[in-house]
A and B are shown apart, each in its own frame.
Chain A
């Protein structure tokens, strides 16, 4: 079983709609990272959360880490075609930040 569970696995939304992607662990996370991957390419860093209850935003993307530091959500407001891609959460589960464990990813399609 995956140490980090992402849901949903895939998502199709209409342009302009809001959406949320979740990342859940059974263990306390020392750091939670969100990355975006364009199809067939490398990962682009979006945000990193460390403290329980922390929330960060960049343009129309907001990421939150719950108080127990076991669940994070990524929320996109008013989605655009440029938001399409694969979103991956990665977590530092050992406290050393030396290795990241990744979820399986959420594939997002934005239709016109």
Chain B
């Protein structure tokens, strides 16, 4: 079974802190994605990565950056957390050329 894990289920950070959200997949998938999920807005794509060291902006990249140094790991970085970044963050991975994205359990981030 494909497994996508996220480093924390719940996280509370203060405004201005630098926040790292980690995602690891164990199926050698080329593509990885970071979404945020907010009530009434659904899932919105923040960044995605086609392969190691490759990244592309999604629909809402402002305030975020990403890092993909190894194939299995895709990190989302909030350089200076703000309260409007309080959200549920979901990571997903996908084998290049296939359709199905496999999702992690999510990290619920609260910025106070």
A residues near B, CB below 8 A?
Answer: 2, 4, 6, 31, 33, 35, 40-45, 48, 88, 90, 92, 97-105
B residues near A, CB below 8 A?
Answer: 4, 31, 33, 35, 40-45, 48, 50, 58, 88, 90, 92, 99-106, 108
Q: Is the interface of A mostly helix, strand, loop or mixed?
A: strand
From B41, B42, B45, B48, name the one whose CB has the most chain A CB atoms within 10 angstroms: B42
| B99 contacts A33, C-beta separation under 8 Å | yes
Q: In the complex, what residues of A have CB within 8 A of residue B4's CB? A: 42
Known: A41-B106, A43-B90, A88-B42. A100 touches B50 (CB 8 A): no
Task: Find the B residue at minimum CB distance from A35.
Answer: B103
| B100 contacts A104, C-beta separation under 8 Å | no
A6 to B43, CA, bound (A): 13
A9 to chain B, nearest CB (A): 8
| A43 contacts B103, C-beta separation under 8 Å | yes
8 Å CB contact of B50 from A92, A98, A102: A98
Task: Find the B residue at minimum CB distance from A105.
Answer: B42
From B48, B102, B103, B108, name the one whose CB has the most chain A CB atoms within 10 angstroms: B103
A102 to B103, CA, bound (A): 14
| A45 contacts B100, C-beta separation under 8 Å | yes
Known: A98-B50, A99-B58, A100-B101. A40 touches B42 (CB 8 A): no
| B99 contacts A97, C-beta separation under 8 Å | yes
A17 to chain B, nearest CB (A): 26
| A42 contacts B42, C-beta separation under 8 Å | no
| B48 contacts A98, C-beta separation under 8 Å | yes
From A2, A31, A102, name the one whose CB has the most chain B CB atoms within 10 angstroms: A102
